[in-house]
Amino acid sequence: MNYDINKIRSYFPVLKQQVYNKPLVYLDNAATTQKTVKVLMAQEKLHNDYYGNIHRAAHYMADKSTADFEETRDKVQKFINAGAREEIIFTKGTTESVNLVAASFCEQFIKSGDEIIVSEMEHHSNIVPWQIQAINKGAKIVKLPFSDSGILQSGALQNLISSKTKLVAVTHVSNVLGTINPVKQIIETAHSKNIPVFIDGAQAVQHIPVDVQELDADFYAFSAHKMYGPNGVGVLYGKRKWLTEMPPYQGGGEMIAEVSFDKTTFSEIPFKFEAGTPNITSVIAFGASIDMLQDIGLVNIWEWEHELLEYATAGLKEIEGMTIYGEAPEKSSVISFNIEGVHSFDLGTMLDKMGIAVRTGHHCADPVMQHYNIPGTVRASFGLYNTKEEIDQFLHALKKVVQMFA
Host H or E run for residue 237 = strand 234-238
Residue closer to ligand PMP (CB basis): 91 or 281: 91
Dihedral in degrees, nearest 10, Cα atoms 56, 286, 177, 301:
150
Residue 344 interacting with ligand PMP (CB under 6 A):
no
Residue 94 interacting with ligand PMP (CB under 6 A):
yes
Stretch that binds ligand PMP, among 35-43, 132-140, 195-203, 392-400 (CB under 6 A): 195-203
Residue 223 interacting with ligand PMP (CB under 6 A):
yes
Stretch that binds ligand PMP, among 51-59, 99-107, 157-165, 200-208 (CB under 6 A): 200-208
Residue 91 interacting with ligand PMP (CB under 6 A):
no
Using CB under 6 A, which of 65, 175, 189, 344 touches ligand PMP?
175
* Count of alpha carbons within 13 angstroms of residue 188, beta-carbon side: 8
Catalytic residues: 364
SS3 388: helix
Cβ atoms within 10 Å, residue 346? 15
For residue 309, the Cα-to-chain-centroid distance in whole angstroms is 19
Residue 386 interacting with ligand PMP (CB under 6 A):
no
Residue closer to ligand PMP (CB basis): 72 or 95: 95
Distances (CA, A) of 33 to 118, 128, 137, 203, 334: 27, 24, 37, 11, 13
Residue closer to ligand PMP (CB basis): 134 or 202: 202
Using CB under 6 A, which of 93, 150, 248, 315 touches ligand PMP?
93
- 304, with CB counted inside 10 A (0-12, 13-18, 19+), is buried
Using CB under 6 A, which of 104, 125, 289, 386 touches ligand PMP?
125
Q: How far is the CB of 77 from ligand PMP (least distance, A)?
A: 20
Using CB under 6 A, which of 99, 171, 336, 338 touches ligand PMP?
171
Enumerate residues 355-374 that contact ligand PMP by CB under 6 A: 364
Residue closer to ligand PMP (CB basis): 169 or 350: 169
Binding mask 50-89 for ligand PMP (x = CB under 6 A): ----------------------------------------
Residue closer to ligand PMP (CB basis): 192 or 370: 370
DSSP lists the bridge partners of residue 115 as: 140, 165
How many amino acids of this chain bind ligand PMP (CB under 6 A)?
A: 14
The 8-class DSSP code of residue 268 comes to P
Tell which phi-psi region holds residue 20, choosing left (phi > 0), alpha (psi between -120 and 50) or beta.
left
Which of 223, 238, 236 has the alpha carbon at shortest distance from 286? 223
Dihedral in degrees, nearest 10, Cα atoms 184, 359, 370, 402:
120
Task: Please give the Cα distance from 402 to 406 (Å, whole number).
Answer: 6
Residue 179 interacting with ligand PMP (CB under 6 A):
no
Using CB under 6 A, which of 123, 137, 371, 379 touches ligand PMP?
123
> CA 254, 219, 54: angle at the middle one, nearest 5?
20
DSSP one-letter string for 302-315: HHHHHHHHHHHHHH
Using CB under 6 A, which of 202, 285, 288, 342 touches ligand PMP?
202
In the complex, the residues that contact ligand PMP under the rule CB under 6 A are 93-95, 123, 125-126, 171, 175, 200, 202-203, 223, 225, 364
